[in-house]
Structure 1
Amino acid sequence: MAKCTAVIDIGSNSMRMAVFQKTSRFSFHILHEVKSSVRLSEHAYKNDGYLQSATMNRTAQAIGEFLSIARSFGARKLLCVATSALRDAPNAQEFISRIQREHNLSIKVIDGEKEAYLGAIACANLLPKMDALTVDVGGGSSEFAVLRNGKVETLYSLNIGTVRIKELFFDRNDLAGAVAYIDNALSALPDFGIDTFIGIGGTFRALTRALMKKENYPLKKLHAYTTDDVRFQTFAEQILQAGPKKLKSLYIKTDRFDTIKPGTLILQRILKYTCAQKLVCSGVGVREGVFLNDLLRNSAASFPANYNPSVRYLLDTYATHSDHGIQCSHLVKRLFDLLQAPLNLKADYRHDLVIAAKLLPIGIGIRYYAYQRHSHNIAMSGLDYALSHTQIVLISHLLLFKKGSRSSSLIPRAGYGTLLPDNATVDALSAILWLSHILLAARINADTLSVHYIDGKLEIRGKHLYLAKEQLRNIVLPKNLIVVFQE
């Protein structure tokens, strides 16, 4: 696979491109993203599905500039897919041939089930593992996929999309007709029996972004934001009842004013039909799915077990100077297993603590002085995939350190503290993490140390522990934890 790959997704409403760069076999990050509201299917649904000359012209012009951007990053592979707008249009081949002739770009028109699959594998790999129904509301159609045990199961595609519903119903002020049309389409779906709904696509992201601003949510990340059906439905109803001035006060961008209500109505009817109670926003979709389908083509469309591409990217980029973080992660597993019961910690925190240990040294790649703060900032910004918001905040916060201070005292006021566990848990996890760091202060291998918990004491045996003994005073240990060094 090319080290740098550009993926173009031509939708009915928007066209987007993402430029991905690999940093190791399965690790990657996004170098650039660009979006153009080309509205390729504008006026098509009023004209028997035919693409109009003006929309084809502006889409062709935007494609030319997308390709120029891709070349500027040295992209050696370019993948381009088109969805509902081209698969529905009787004159689609005219546009496809034009783009091939003018730009030497091959457009692959994918069917609805393939579109659903691509969005679903992006969610399966880049969101925390969950059984869920993925729902991608686009301009011309909506795609559905069932995720169970990290695998994509059934796939569906329905001709209900924001632009389609706008032109057929909203432009005629026919709300009742829109509801009847959407509900009739949804009747083709089975009872999924899944209470978690993953929203993909521009409409859901726009509503999520607005809801986060309205609630003053402390973490500025759309991907993996989670809410419930009551809050979302209440907000959706406000959107449907709002005029332009009110939409702006609800944090809806003006370029979405004409499609946000049709999209909101579609989502509202889907939620009513599925009875989903938990809603998760996906910041990834078809573009990431196209990239992953290529990247993981020999791996059953899945990353290896316990692999996190965000963590690996940060290590590839910022922790090339030593394996200290990896050694700390080995030791922190052993320490957690010994201290979980005495410190009354939930087993789930082991996973997050191991990731924090791996990331301990990433701030050094920026600047050694105050590297803990740099590690914290890099993790908070760079951890995106396969982690919940509470996990991202906890891992990032644990990377902060101040001599002689409890971790809970470092939680910023009016910041992300509401996403953290209780102070006792934060302090205990921080103590274990930084204890692993100082026990390996001489940059020794973790397997040279022997650790035991006996009679309320953590006994450490090994060589090269002089610095560890000296630095132990910098850590505030839980009151019921005593560390003893044995020669």
Structure 2
Amino acid sequence: MAKCTAVIDIGSNSMRMAVFQKTSRFAFHILHEVKSSVRLSEHAYKNEGYLQNEPMERTALAIGEFLSIASSFGARKILCVATSALRDAPNSSAFLSRIQREYNLSIKIISGEKEAYLGGMACANLLPSVDEAISVDVGGGSSEFALLRNGKVEQLYSLNIGTVRIKELFFDNNDINGAVEYIDEALKELPDFGTHTLIGIGGTFRALTRAIMKKEEYPLRKLHAYTTDTNTFLHFTSQILEAGPKKLRSLFIKPDRFDTIKPGTLILERIIRHTQTKTLLSSGVGVREGLFLSDLLRNSGDKFPAHYNPSVRYLLDTYGIHSDHALQCAHLSKRIFDLLHTHLGINLVHRQELSIAAKLLSIGVGIRYYAYQRHSHYLAMSALDYGLSHSQIALISHLLLFKKGSSSSDLIPKGSYGSLLPDEATLDALSAILWLSHILLAARINASDITLSIDSHSGALVVGSKSLYLAREQLKNIILPKNFTLMLKE
């Protein structure tokens, strides 16, 4: 596939484009994103679904500028899909022909089920793994549902309930009861999914999630993988539905969403009550990422290889200068963890975060060697987006911080992400293992050159190697937990 790919999603309300760049076979990052509120379906639902001239003109102009942006990044592949607005419009062929003629762009109209699949597949690949969940994408003209089970997309549904459709048919006529009846009737087509987790996709869910995060002063500025409970979410949606413009501002809703936020909120509120889900997981990915991944992963069953994380690989591809040492640290830290986790009282689930932190240990060197730990921390906190929970991201990033003579729990910034970290004893133990591994490999030897064992009498970790002179000198720089004793043997 082309190294740089632009993906355009033409929705009923907004049109968006993301420009993706590959850094290796499966690793990628986003170079640019652009959105335009073209409102392609504006007034269509009052006119038997026919697209109106002014919205079509807006959309055509935006497409032209989107393509210009894609060209500036050297995108050699353009993937463009359209959803509900063009799917439903009797005059869609005229618009498609115009765009083909003026811009030489082929727009593919996808079915509601395909739209549901792309969104669900993106979630399955780029969110922390969940055994079972339903993804819900509330768009301008329709809402799509996908059942995800053990990383696979299984059931797909598309219903004609969308923010612009509900606004024009009911909210513009102040018929809220009619909207509720219409939505509830449509939801009867869904089966009983029997899952307690709902993954929210789409502009309305993202807008509500961002507002809740600001209201709660959430410590991370990451929407993707943010988790909340149904009661918290529904309490907030009730405030939105009752609010006037001034109140909406105070609830952190942006003015450009004032006309569609209430119809979208009502749709989500009815969906959550209907599905009886308990946990809500926010997705920053959707159809665009799904379309990109369907191209990227077309020869691997639309799935990444086992235990593969594209964000970690992207960081290593881009900043992992002389990363062999970090990989050796990862091998050694896992060996030490396996020997000591029971004695130190560390939960086995943290082995993965320790390993990732070790791999990313030196990415900050690519920016500047001095204070590289701080740069590594910043890069990890900023760019670890996919496949990890916020608690995992906070832990991995924090472990990359180091200060001579300080324990890891001493380095937590005040009023920051401390609430997402494990208890101090666990944090200090993990940090000690990570930086001990780094020090034991100070001579840039291989992890396989180091022997590890537990002394039967003292319970100390016994480390053996022919190259420990520098390590002995540097051990004074780290603080080991009180129940963590060490013996070096040359």
Bin of the TM-score, shorter chain as denominator length? over 0.9
- Kindly provide the CA deviation profile for residues 378-434 of structure 1, in whole angstroms up to 9, marking residues without a partner as x: 100010000000000000000000001000000011111111111111100000000
Greater CA drift, 317-326 or 220-229? 317-326
Question: Which residue is equivalent to 2:103?
Answer: 103
Is 1:245 paired with 2:246? yes
Alignment of 1:190-269 (within 5 A): 190-269=191-270
Question: Which residue is equivalent to 2:463?
Answer: 460
Per the normalisation by structure 2, the TM-score is: 0.99
Question: Which residue is equivalent to 2:43?
Answer: 43
CA separation in 2, counterparts of 1:371 and 1:136?
40
1:460 aligned counterpart, secondary structure: strand
Q: CA deviation at 1:8?
A: 0.1
Letter in 2 for 1:346: N
Alignment of 1:5-404 (within 5 A): 5-130=5-130, 131-404=132-405
Is 1:476 paired with 2:459? no
Q: CA deviation at 1:51?
A: 0.2
CA separation in 2, counterparts of 1:222 and 1:129?
17
- Kindly provide the CA deviation profile for residues 126-147 of structure 1, in whole angstroms up to 9, marking residues without a partner as x: 0001121000000000000011
- Kindly provide the CA deviation profile for residues 41-67 of structure 1, in whole angstroms up to 9, marking residues without a partner as x: 000000000000000001000000000
1:6 aligned counterpart, secondary structure: strand
Greater CA drift, 259-268 or 463-472? 463-472
Question: Which residue is equivalent to 1:407?
Answer: 408
- Kindly provide the CA deviation profile for residues 106-159 of structure 1, in whole angstroms up to 9, marking residues without a partner as x: 000000000000001100000001121000000000000011111111000000
CA separation in 1, counterparts of 2:88 and 2:313?
40
CA separation in 1, counterparts of 2:140 and 2:466?
65
Aligned CA RMSD, in angstroms, stands at 0.6
Q: CA deviation at 1:305?
A: 0.6
CA separation in 1, counterparts of 2:466 and 2:365?
26
Letter in 2 for 1:425: T
Question: Which residue is equivalent to 1:422?
Answer: 423
CA separation in 1, counterparts of 2:454 and 2:405?
24
**Identity across the alignment (%):** 75
CA separation in 1, counterparts of 2:358 and 2:120?
31
Per the normalisation by structure 1, the TM-score is: 1.00
* Number of matched pairs: 487
Gaps of 5+ in 1: none
Could you list the runs of 4 or more consecutive aligned residues of structure 1 that deviate by over 3 angstroms after TM superposition? none
CA separation in 2, counterparts of 1:288 and 1:320?
28
CA separation in 1, counterparts of 2:98 and 2:321?
47
Greater CA drift, 65-74 or 450-459? 450-459
Q: CA deviation at 1:70?
A: 0.1
2:211 aligned counterpart, secondary structure: helix
Q: CA deviation at 1:324?
A: 1.0
CA separation in 2, counterparts of 1:77 and 1:101?
18
2:195 aligned counterpart, secondary structure: coil
Contact 2:321 2:362 in 1 (8 A): no
CA separation in 2, counterparts of 1:320 and 1:301?
30
Question: Which residue is equivalent to 1:440?
Answer: 441
Gaps of 5+ in 2: none
2:199 aligned counterpart, secondary structure: strand
Q: CA deviation at 1:301?
A: 0.4
CA separation in 2, counterparts of 1:322 and 1:196?
38
